[in-house]
Amino acid sequence: MPCLRIQNFVQDKAGSGKNNQGKVSALQNAKFEFRLRLDFGNKEKAHSIGASIMPEITPYRNIRSETIVKIKNSLILIDIEALDKTALKASLNSCLKSIILAEEILEVE
């Protein structure tokens, strides 16, 4: 079972318009930010599950939120910036549903 750790939830984020890599975000007026770190304890499992999220976060699919997924060893890092709470929740739910489904499929194999 993966370890679910909520690293940071910031409401009314400071409007610098830059993400943690110094790049200008497409959502310069984003007010809500959510960072999620999932540790699967297994590099291959993290990469398989991370790959299943990618279709859910295609660029320009959602104009009210931006989701960035990174896979580092056995970790999946998800960063979401949104203009409102509803968009944040929808983006997070979309990612989590994909993760849960992928994990259930891997357990069946």
> How is the chain classified by DSSP, letter by letter?
-PEEEEEEEEES-----B-TTSPBPS-TT--EEEEEEEE-S-HHHHHHHHHHHGGGG-TTS-SSEEEEEEEETTEEEEEEEESSHHHHHHHHHHHHHHHHHHHHHHHH-
- The pLDDT tens digits for 16-51 are 444 444 444 555 666 899 999 999 999 999 999 988
- The pLDDT tens digits for 49-99 are 988 888 777 666 667 888 888 999 999 999 998 899 998 999 899 889 989
pTM score, whole prediction: 0.69
Question: Domain residues of the chain, as ranges?
Answer: 3-108
CATH code reported for the domain at 3-108? 3.30.310.50
